[in-house]
Structure 1
Amino acid sequence: MNFKRHLPGLLILGVVWGLTPSVVKLALAAGIPPLGFGFWGAFGSALILSVLCASRRLRVPLDRPHIIQYSAAGLSGFALANFAGYTALQHIPAGFFALLVPLSPILTVLGAAALGMERLTPPRVLGTVLGFAGVALAMAPGAALPDPALLGWALLAALTPVCFAVSNIVAVRLAPRGTDALVLATGALYGGAFFLALFSLLRGEFHIPGQVGWPGEMLIPFQAGITAFAYLLYFRLIAATGSVITSQTGYIVPIAGVLWGAMIFGERMGWLALPAAALVFAGLWLVTAKR
């Protein structure tokens, strides 16, 4: 396998995923409620992937094992993750949120080890410690969080990678054998859209298109499009390079997220953000490096 051949794809995926926090902040600033935006993003991307499944003659099964998998993955990886992340993004910088993303693979390995699915080696233990130390440092004054008063919102945002990790484990434990990954992603997006619709209605945050100006409304199909594109690229990279190399996008997402936040919102990180990011990257490398 030629790693250089797939490097552009890894970079593009990291840049697209790093853009998401900034798109969410733009939508919230336009007046779209967090859970309402999350619903339309999940539902729209599910529709796009459904068309692609149909074009490839892939059926989305609706039997009990698949419904359970869609529901569990959609609830943890989309509904709860978006509830925590999108709500917190009303108050915290997009760049800070991007620094939390590498915690997902770290927590995935930790959770898998607790369930006996992975081996918890000393390097992985050290990597977990370094990753959490980096996030803690990012929350300190002079780092990525501009105001200590935002610590509560930062801790809420930190639940997002926890939800992603749970979703990753659920995807492995509950995925029916022989089902195409694109089909599972489509079903999980529909599951996430269902729970986000429910949550948004219960909290009075459901968004009816047309309630805000067109620049804000256009962010909905844009978010749905980049989400669907990212999932397609992700699965192609998984098939071509494997999960270990694809996980290296975890290094690109925080950098891209910080740069997007700086370009779109003029966010500026404190000097402690650099060592914080270095600790997170070191932890990610120790946890995911193939040995």
Structure 2
Amino acid sequence: MSSFRIHAALFLAALIYAATYSLAKDLMPGYIQPQAAVVWRIGGATLVFGLLKLLTAPGERIVGAADNWRAIACGVLGIGLNQLAFFQGLSLSTPINASLIQTISPIVVVLASAVLLGERITPPRLLGIALGACGAAALVLSRPPSGKVAADALAGNLFLLFNATVFALYLVLVAPLMRKYHAFTVLARIFLVGAAVVLPVGLPQALHTDYGRFPAYIWAELGYMVLFLTILAYLLNNWALKYASPNLLGVYIYLQPVLAVLIAVALGKDVFTLDKAWQAALIFLGVWLVGRNWRTASAKPKPAAVPAEATVE
């Protein structure tokens, strides 16, 4: 497979995710409430992945009580709670804070793997967890330079931290399903479960949204959330996973927040300060220590899919 195509797929996926942080600020909460935006995103993706499942794996089903309960847990954590927390947090926080907080997901994956799968945490990874936690805590508690009410920013950052945590748990839980079933079989099921979680919360807001006051660019940004962020970026990432090395995938984990910062500053949606620089440095160093394959006699190499999926929202 052409290396150019692999890099292009990973870069385009990272760019899609990075642009989301700034574009979503146009939508929320001025035109649409966060929960209503989630209904559009999850509802659209549920229909698309359901159709793709019928086309690619029409006869396949998730079987067995254990796998079905795992799929329900993945839908609740990785789709329902994850998306509700992400959009609520982004509506209250800033694009740069949101993009940086997302990078702690690989750290939470390692912790969840240790608790749920019994994997050993080496001293360098333990140091990485501590550094990443310090950087994330400083970022969550930081005051925005724009003068926005600190309580709102703190609540937003906490929502984003919760989002990164439940998504990391989802990554650990969904891996066995992805290895056992067709990807669209799993996605169709977990998005259906996620829709069942999201609709009771967000449908009232979606129905009471005044869509008549949406200018054309707001409709375009809402379509971007459904088609590009939820569907295209996932397909690009998972196609690239088949051919890319773990080291290459790790590079694009770091690229996403860099792109998000550049886009947010260029569009005037946020300001990159020295405080955010050292907080980001702590998080990046922590993620690097956690993600590096420290070869010891008792340590097992980390699966390539875990760090790569950490960029997926």
Indicate yes or no: 2:77 matched with 1:76: yes
The answer for the alignment partner of 2:36 in structure 1 is 36
Match of 1:199 among 198, 201, 223: 201
Q: Give, in whole Å, the separation in 2 of the partners of 1:217 and 1:5.
A: 30
In the superposition, relative to structure 1, how do residues 289 and 212 fare at CA in structure 2: closer, same or farther (>3 Å)?
A: farther
Q: Which amino acid aligns with 2:273?
A: G
Residues 56-80 of structure 1 deviation map (CA, whole Å, 9 limit, x = unaligned)? 3455626565653443212111211
Residues 212-258 of structure 1 deviation map (CA, whole Å, 9 limit, x = unaligned)? 42433333322111120111011112222266643543212211222
Q: Give, in whole Å, the separation in 1 of the partners of 2:274 and 2:5.
A: 35
Residues 194-216 of structure 1 deviation map (CA, whole Å, 9 limit, x = unaligned)? 21112224xx4234684542433
Indicate yes or no: 2:242 matched with 1:261: no
Residues 111-145 of structure 1 deviation map (CA, whole Å, 9 limit, x = unaligned)? 11112342211111111111112222324557778
The answer for the alignment partner of 2:104 in structure 1 is 103
In the superposition, relative to structure 1, how do residues 27 and 63 fare at CA in structure 2: closer, same or farther (>3 Å)?
A: farther
Q: CA deviation at 1:42?
A: 1.6
Unpaired stretches in structure 1, ≥5 consecutive residues: none
In the superposition, relative to structure 1, how do residues 59 and 30 fare at CA in structure 2: closer, same or farther (>3 Å)?
A: farther
The answer for the alignment partner of 2:22 in structure 1 is 22
Residues 2-21 of structure 1 deviation map (CA, whole Å, 9 limit, x = unaligned)? 86763332222211112222
Q: Give, in whole Å, the separation in 2 of the partners of 1:242 and 1:207.
A: 45
The answer for the alignment partner of 1:233 in structure 2 is 236
Residues 96-122 of structure 1 deviation map (CA, whole Å, 9 limit, x = unaligned)? 100011111110111111123422111
Match of 2:164 among 157, 161, 174: 161
Contact 2:62 2:181 (8 Å CA) reproduced: no
Q: Which amino acid aligns with 1:23?
A: L
More deviation, 265-274/214-223: 214-223
Q: Give, in whole Å, the separation in 2 of the partners of 1:278 and 1:48.
A: 38
Report the count of equivalent residues: 288
Contact 1:32 1:207 (8 Å CA) reproduced: no
Q: Give, in whole Å, the separation in 2 of the partners of 1:279 and 1:193.
A: 36
The answer for the alignment partner of 1:274 in structure 2 is 277
Q: Give, in whole Å, the separation in 2 of the partners of 1:4 and 1:131.
A: 32
Cα RMSD of the aligned pairs, angstroms, is: 2.8
In the superposition, relative to structure 1, how do residues 8 and 177 fare at CA in structure 2: closer, same or farther (>3 Å)?
A: closer
Contact 2:95 2:269 (8 Å CA) reproduced: no
Q: CA deviation at 1:37?
A: 0.8
The answer for the alignment partner of 1:138 in structure 2 is 139
In the superposition, relative to structure 1, how do residues 53 and 207 fare at CA in structure 2: closer, same or farther (>3 Å)?
A: same
TM-score (norm 2): 0.80
Q: Give, in whole Å, the separation in 1 of the partners of 2:52 and 2:137.
A: 41
Contact 1:10 1:249 (8 Å CA) reproduced: yes
